[in-house]
Structure 1
Amino acid sequence: MESTREPAAPIAELDEDAAQLAALGYDYDTTFKRDMTFWGNVALGFTYLSPVVAVYTMFSVSLGQAGPPMFWSLAIAGLGQFFVALVFGEIVSNYPVAGGVYPWSRRLWGRKWAWMNGWVYIVAMFATIASVSYGAGPFLGTLFDAEAGVNTTVVCALVMLALALFFNLSGTRILNTAAMVGLICELGGAVVVGAWLLITARQHDVSVLFDAFGAGDGKSYFIAFSAAALIGIFQYYGFEACGDVAEEIKNPGRQIPKAMRWTIYIGGFAAMFIAFALILAVPNYEAVVADFNAGSTNDPLTMVLISAFGPIGYKFVVAIVLISFLSCLISLQAAVSRLTYSMSRDGILPFSKKLVRVNERTGVPSTALILAAVVPASIILLSLLLPDALVTIISFSSVGIYIAFQMVVLAALRARILGWKPAGSFRLRGWAFPVNILALAWGIIGITAIAWPRTPEAPWYVNYIVLLTALGVLGVGALYMWLKKPYLVGSAPSGDATSQINTIAARPREQVSR
């Protein structure tokens, strides 16, 4: 059975979380179940952020581009995204509504801005799901000794996508459990693998983190480092997923901002630790850089792991890595399905009546989840036409996510200038403006680093494919908005952050229920 919504109850009859949601202007929807725990919320953000996925997917490419100093991109991106997480935490505390960036932008700026923000984020999330599935393909093929190649990667990627959909359709409790299992396996795997490499396979001391070993010769090293920085940029998003399920966790205004910060802390530590251990275990950096420049398919990551763990131990590590990829995919699908649901609840997406359906038994938006598998599967199949599919998909998904993030950050800064006074449980108070400005500055730097052309010898469209694709997504969204005017549909509040109409909804919980 599918249901769109049950009749709203009077605010006085609702619990505190439901009353807060109703006071924000949304009819209380009993089809969502608040079954997610705090650590389940942290796990959701962590498995979406997934340090193992980012490091294992991009390690060889980044090391070949910039040498060992590529490690520092993880620290730089972590700090920049921490500022973004603080801004998001203050916003979600004020507006604990399912869907994340779309409802936040709607309240902070208005209907048109929210439509474009949601559109960009949905497309970028579909691309991110495709990139993670594609990155998992070679590992799944290796586990079953399948013949390496593009076709094997594509088939294995589709299998991972289908498994993630199966778990998501099973309900929020299964999602909570899957996220917790993913966190334990991924964090445990990162610590165990990293520690074993440092104890038994370390080839160098810490000084190598400051030596490029010939990377970037013949051109500015900054260009090489910024290209390698995609590993850090790809690593540090996912914390916003904690807010996507704001209607599925108790006391979201207090719990979600804390969960976002813990996602950064734990994910950042795990990513930097495993990257540090892998770097020190690579025997010959000059060879890695030379192989990369020559277009060789030699993979230093695989060689290091097989050397340290042996063939059987390597298979065990691959199995842990695959659990990390699967849990990341589950979290990604869950996040984008809730955003799709949120926009469809306001009636602003095509086929909104179907996408807003929530399964009465499992309490999840099943149609939106299926869409979150079908579109990425199409991207994976189209990747057969791309010469460097993985890096291209990751670059586009990352720039799309960063654009969507910065639309929220800019909307928050604009709202503050116009007088917005956050009233949630988590507030930045006197630090609000400096943190907001730093978050915006970091986002601009990150977007520039992703989209900047780095191969002048290649055709112009190869150099600018990320920028062209991003502009294409923005253009399609703007055209649809101009022709269909979807932002005019729906009665959900918009652009009211600078008024005092709904501040009661963001007050501490004990005040809401009085």
Structure 2
Amino acid sequence: MAAPVHTDTSEDVKVLHSMGYAQELSRRMGGFQSFAISFSIICILSGGFGSFPIALSTGGPFSLTIGWIIGSAYALIVAACLGQIASAYPTAGSLYHWSSILGGRFWGWATAYVNLLGLLFVIPAVNVFLYLVTRDLLFGSVLGWDVSGWGMGTQILSVAVITAAQALLNHFGIRLTTILTDFSGYLILGVTVILIVMFLMAAPSFDISKAFTFVNNTGAPGGGVSPQTGPLMAIIIGLLYPLFTITGFDASAHTAEETVNARNTVHKGMLHSVFWSGVFGFVLILVMILAIPDLNAAAASGWSSFNNLFIAAILPTFIGKLMLIGVIISNFLCALAAVTSTSRMIYAFARDGGLPFSGLLSSVSPTYRTPVAAIWFSAIMAVVLTAVTTPLNAFAALSTGCAMYLYISYAMPIVAGFFAEGKTWTTFGSFRLGGLSKVFAVIVMIGTVLVTIGGHAFVVSIPGTPGDAAANPPVAATSFVPGLWYYSVGFAIILAILWFAIENRRFQGPPIGEAAIAKRKAIIAAAEKAVGESA
């Protein structure tokens, strides 16, 4: 049955037309769906588990608890700042569109690429963790398979298959996606509550004080998860834990053109998803710490610390095995929602000519009312990133890059708004921060600097070593593996070349101003007619 459509007299479509865009996507999402898609991407059962060793092996319990509180509060401030802008400009391009309006053509173009990079890191980061937890806990611990021979090739192929399944589900329409993300929201809450009870039951004692102790576990004490650093840097790196977990909440904004009453709904989706993830995540972390008999030994086990805890505290019971299945499904749906968010960003940027093959990437299926080409492009790039980062410890590199690049992209329209508010920024929605707006913006700027420093300090280069054929047994040579700094500098250089050589003259950005928007009336009508939207 054909999806119901809004006429151009609806408030949502009027707002979209006033910004120069057609209603091509199917507007089916309500308030809960807007919340659920961001809550599903945040997914405390994904980042909260996968990056658990990052915090434990840097600042110890302090980074897990106090670090989580600080990171959650910071994420809520970022969400509030973005929500204020989303209430004024509810479009699928979100960050890119906002930066263009508030900061100019270049700032918007640069925001789009940084946000796109961060979003593309989300999908493989989650899917790599999904592969690892399935391999080690389900196949290895529960089913007893020998997974010791599963190497890099198996990981890349498995992630490719998982990502293709998520893209296929996105292909067939936002209705199917929202049903799955709605289910994901309930599943995450239900599994989290049961796991909290199970970890509490497994706790050898209830000494809450041990959950707030700072221990510098960088280097050897933390199993080599983090390079050896001083206490301050250990705390900064530890903040990657909550910031990788509580990220991707811009999904509510990226699906604004598919959300009913978007001006009054999108900011609530972001704020509620961050707040409840922070609350439930903190309780889950607290009981996980209580369930660990020896925190020093757990930290020394490095990347295995979460797996060891889950095997000891959860898997021995039938219910624990069911909870593992719930964790696996939650992670699959987390990356499914990330594909949705990423593809909408690509679609929005491409319709303004910001990407190569923009005509293809901005196309919308008349049958499914989804940006099919953008969906599959997201999936392909996610697999490519998995292959590129696998030699560097794919999960560490991808999760760190995700947190760092996404929060930089979140800061960019906020910084632009800091300077434009009350001057060139005069269009506001129902959600306003008032006197807190500029204060929050300064906090966001400081936090962005810290997460950037922490990200680059965590994922360092791996030096190459010469081989020794005469040794017994022979030692093979290893290649130099570049750290995250190389990716960031290379990315910045490529962007600079693209802008000054090509895009500065070619790229026009989103339509801004009454004259530019008025010229798009015929384009809007043709685009809506092509997908069956009533005129």
Q: Same fold (TM over 0.5)?
A: yes
Give the structure 1 partner of residue 258 of structure 2: 248
Letter in 2 for 1:341: Y
Q: Trace 1:72-471 onto structure 2 (pairs within 5 A).
A: 72-141=66-135, 142-144=137-139, 145=143, 146=145, 147-148=147-148, 149-151=150-152, 152-212=154-214, 215-216=217-218, 220-292=230-302, 298-310=304-316, 312-384=318-390, 386-416=391-421, 418-452=423-457, 465-471=483-489
Q: Is the 8 A contact 2:347 2:362 kept in 1?
A: yes
> Deviations for 1:296-317, whole angstroms, at most 9, x for unmatched residues?
x643443444434416444322
- 38-47 or 432-441: bigger deviation: 432-441
Distance 1:127 1:80, change over 3 A: same
Q: Trace 1:51-70 onto structure 2 (pairs within 5 A).
A: 51-70=44-63
Superposed CA RMSD: 2.9
The answer on 1:45 being equivalent to 2:51 is no
Give the structure 2 partner of residue 510 of structure 1: none
Identity %: 22
Q: Is the 8 A contact 1:116 1:474 kept in 2?
A: no
Query: What is the distance in 2 between the residues matched to 1:231 and 1:259?
Result: 22
Query: What is the distance in 2 between the residues matched to 1:143 and 1:159?
Result: 18
Distance 1:226 1:201, change over 3 A: same
Aligned-partner SS, 2:437? helix
Q: Trace 1:4-19 onto structure 2 (pairs within 5 A).
A: 13-19=8-14
Letter in 2 for 1:14: T
Normalised by the length of structure 2, the TM-score is 0.83
Q: Is the 8 A contact 1:115 1:487 kept in 2?
A: no
Distance 1:299 1:344, change over 3 A: same
> Deviations for 1:54-100, whole angstroms, at most 9, x for unmatched residues?
11101134213322112221111111111111111111111111122
Distance 1:491 1:159, change over 3 A: closer
> Which consecutive unaligned segments of at least 5 residues does structure 2 have?
222-227, 465-478, 519-535
In the TM superposition, what is the alpha-carbon distance from 1:212 to its structure 2 partner? 3.6
Distance 1:429 1:248, change over 3 A: same
> Deviations for 1:114-168, whole angstroms, at most 9, x for unmatched residues?
1111011112211221111111102222434451443443333223212211211
Query: What is the distance in 1 between the residues matched to 2:462 and 2:369?
Result: 52
Letter in 2 for 1:363: R
Distance 1:491 1:61, change over 3 A: closer
Q: Is the 8 A contact 1:107 1:493 kept in 2?
A: no
Query: What is the distance in 2 between the residues matched to 1:192 and 1:455?
Result: 37
Give the structure 2 partner of residue 505 of structure 1: none
Q: Is the 8 A contact 1:357 1:366 kept in 2?
A: yes
Q: Is the 8 A contact 1:63 1:70 kept in 2?
A: yes
In the TM superposition, what is the alpha-carbon distance from 1:387 to its structure 2 partner? 4.1
In the TM superposition, what is the alpha-carbon distance from 1:383 to its structure 2 partner? 3.4
2:493 to 449, 472, 475: 475
In the TM superposition, what is the alpha-carbon distance from 1:355 to its structure 2 partner? 0.4
In the TM superposition, what is the alpha-carbon distance from 1:457 to its structure 2 partner? 9.8
In the TM superposition, what is the alpha-carbon distance from 1:393 to its structure 2 partner? 2.0
- 390-399 or 40-49: bigger deviation: 390-399
> Deviations for 1:280-335, whole angstroms, at most 9, x for unmatched residues?
1011112123333xxxx643443444434416444322211111111111111111
In the TM superposition, what is the alpha-carbon distance from 1:36 to its structure 2 partner? 0.8
Q: Is the 8 A contact 1:48 1:332 kept in 2?
A: yes
Q: Is the 8 A contact 1:91 1:422 kept in 2?
A: no
Query: What is the distance in 2 between the residues matched to 1:214 and 1:439?
Result: 26
Q: Is the 8 A contact 1:278 1:304 kept in 2?
A: no
Letter in 2 for 1:254: N
Letter in 1 for 2:231: Y
In the TM superposition, what is the alpha-carbon distance from 1:450 to its structure 2 partner? 1.7
In the TM superposition, what is the alpha-carbon distance from 1:234 to its structure 2 partner? 0.4
2:19 to 3, 21, 24: 24
In the TM superposition, what is the alpha-carbon distance from 1:24 to its structure 2 partner? 2.0
Distance 1:153 1:426, change over 3 A: same
Q: Is the 8 A contact 2:167 2:339 kept in 1?
A: yes
Give the structure 2 partner of residue 508 of structure 1: none
Query: What is the distance in 2 between the residues matched to 1:390 and 1:166?
Result: 24
Q: Is the 8 A contact 1:99 1:339 kept in 2?
A: yes
In the TM superposition, what is the alpha-carbon distance from 1:247 to its structure 2 partner? 0.6
Q: Is the 8 A contact 1:124 1:397 kept in 2?
A: yes
- 421-430 or 68-77: bigger deviation: 421-430
Query: What is the distance in 2 between the residues matched to 1:453 and 1:324?
Result: 27
In the TM superposition, what is the alpha-carbon distance from 1:346 to its structure 2 partner? 0.7
Query: What is the distance in 2 between the residues matched to 1:248 and 1:315?
Result: 37
Q: Is the 8 A contact 1:41 1:259 kept in 2?
A: yes
Query: What is the distance in 1 between the residues matched to 2:180 and 2:306?
Result: 31
Normalised by the length of structure 1, the TM-score is 0.87
In the TM superposition, what is the alpha-carbon distance from 1:421 to its structure 2 partner? 2.9
Distance 1:441 1:225, change over 3 A: closer
Q: Is the 8 A contact 2:216 2:231 kept in 1?
A: no
Q: Is the 8 A contact 1:202 1:277 kept in 2?
A: no
Q: Is the 8 A contact 2:237 2:458 kept in 1?
A: no
Q: Is the 8 A contact 1:344 1:356 kept in 2?
A: yes
Distance 1:150 1:172, change over 3 A: same
Aligned-partner SS, 1:65? coil
Query: What is the distance in 2 between the residues matched to 1:331 and 1:390?
Result: 19
Distance 1:441 1:228, change over 3 A: closer
Aligned-partner SS, 2:247? coil
